[in-house]
Amino acid sequence: MTAKIPSKTITLTEARELQTDTLGFVMKTADEMGDICKLKVGFWDIYFLNHPDYIQRVFLDNWKNYSRETFQFSNFARVTGKGLLTTHGDYWQQHRRLAQPGFHKNKLDGMAAAMSQTIDRMHGRWDAQLANQSTIKLDIDAEMLRLGLEIVGTALFSLDFSKDSADLSQEILGMMQYVVYRSQNLLALPTWVPTPRNVRFKRTLHKVDQIIYRLIQDRQDSGESKNDLLDLFLDGRDANNQPLDPKAIRDEIITMIIAGYETVASGMSWMWDVLSRHSDAESKIREEIEGWDGVVTAETVSKMTYTSAAIDEVFRLYPPSWLITRKTVAEDEFGGYHVPAGAIVVVCPYSIHHHPSYWNNPSIYQPERHFVDYANFEKFAYIPFGGGPHLCIGRPFAKLEAGLVLIKTLSKFKLQPANLNPPAMNAQVTLRPKNGMEMEISKVQSLI
Ligand code: HEM
Q: Residue 255's domain is classified under what CATH number?
A: 1.10.630.10
Looking at residue 165, its pLDDT comes to 62
State residue 14's pLDDT score: 85
pLDDT level of residue 139 (50, 70, 90 thresholds) = very high
Q: How many domains does the chain have?
A: 1
pLDDT at 87 over 70: yes
Q: Which of 321, 327, 350 to probe ligand 1 with, by most ligand atoms within 8 A of CB?
A: 321
Segment 133-152 shows an average pLDDT of 94
| pLDDT confidence bin for 49, thresholds 50/70/90 | very high
**Averaged pLDDT of the chain:** 91
Full-model pTM: 0.94
Q: Taking 80 as the threshold, does the pLDDT of residue 398 lie above it?
A: yes
Residue 448: inside a domain = no
Residue nearest ligand 1's atom 13 by CA: 386
What is the extent of the structural domain holding 236?
A: 7-443
321 CA from centroid of ligand 1 (Å): 8
CA of 120 to the centre of ligand 1 (A): 26
327 assigned to some structural domain: yes
Q: Span 262-273, mean pLDDT?
A: 96
pLDDT for residue 376 is more than 80: no
Is position 2 within any domain? no
For residues 34-43, average pLDDT: 92
Whole-number pLDDT of residue 410: 95
CA 256–ligand 1 middle distance (angstroms): 8
Which range has highest mean pLDDT (191-205, 243-257, 264-278, 369-383)?
Answer: 264-278
Average pLDDT, stretch 15-26?
Answer: 88
Q: Which of 108, 104, 138 lies closest to 123 in space, CA to CA? A: 138
Ligand 1 pocket, residue 94 CB under 6 Å? no
pLDDT of 42 reads 83
Q: State residue 166's pLDDT score.
A: 63
Kindly indicate the confidence band of residue 386, based on its pLDDT and cuts at 50, 70 and 90: very high
Note whether residue 363 is domain-resident: yes
Tell me: pLDDT of 167 over 60. yes
Position 134 pLDDT exceeds 90:
yes
- When pLDDT is averaged across residues 390-412 and rounded to a whole number, the result is 95
Q: Which of 105-114, 175-184, 349-358, 420-429 has the highest mean pLDDT?
A: 349-358
Q: Is the pLDDT of residue 371 over 90?
A: no
Q: Which residues is 417 bridged to in the sheet?
A: 439
Share of the chain above pLDDT 90, in %: 62
Question: Is the pLDDT confidence value at 201 over 80?
Answer: yes
For a ligand 1 pocket test, name from 392, 395, 397 the mutation site with the most ligand atoms within 8 angstroms of its C-beta: 392
pLDDT at 28: 94
Find the mean pLDDT for residues 27-33. 94
Give the per-residue pLDDT at 43: 85
Q: Is residue 170 situated within a structural domain?
A: yes
Residue 78 included in any domain: yes
**Is the pLDDT score of 242 beyond 70?**
yes
For 225-249, what is the mean pLDDT? 90
Using pLDDT thresholds of 50, 70 and 90, give the confidence band for residue 375: low
Question: Does 272 fall in a domain?
Answer: yes
Ligand 1: nearest atom to the Cα of 88: 40
Give the pLDDT score at 373: 58
pLDDT of 31 > 80? The answer is yes
CA of 291 to the centre of ligand 1 (A): 32
Distance 320 CA to ligand 1 centre (A): 10
Q: 176-180, 346-350, 410-414 — which is least confidently predicted?
A: 176-180
Band of pLDDT at residue 11, cut at 50, 70 and 90: confident
Instruction: Give the residue, 211 or 130, on which the prediction is more confident.
Output: 130
What confidence score (pLDDT) does residue 324 get?
Answer: 97
What pLDDT is recorded for position 71? Answer: 87
The lowest-confidence range among 311-325, 359-373, 409-423 is 359-373
What is the per-residue pLDDT for 215?
85
Inform me whether the pLDDT recorded for 170 exceeds 80: no
280 in a structural domain = yes
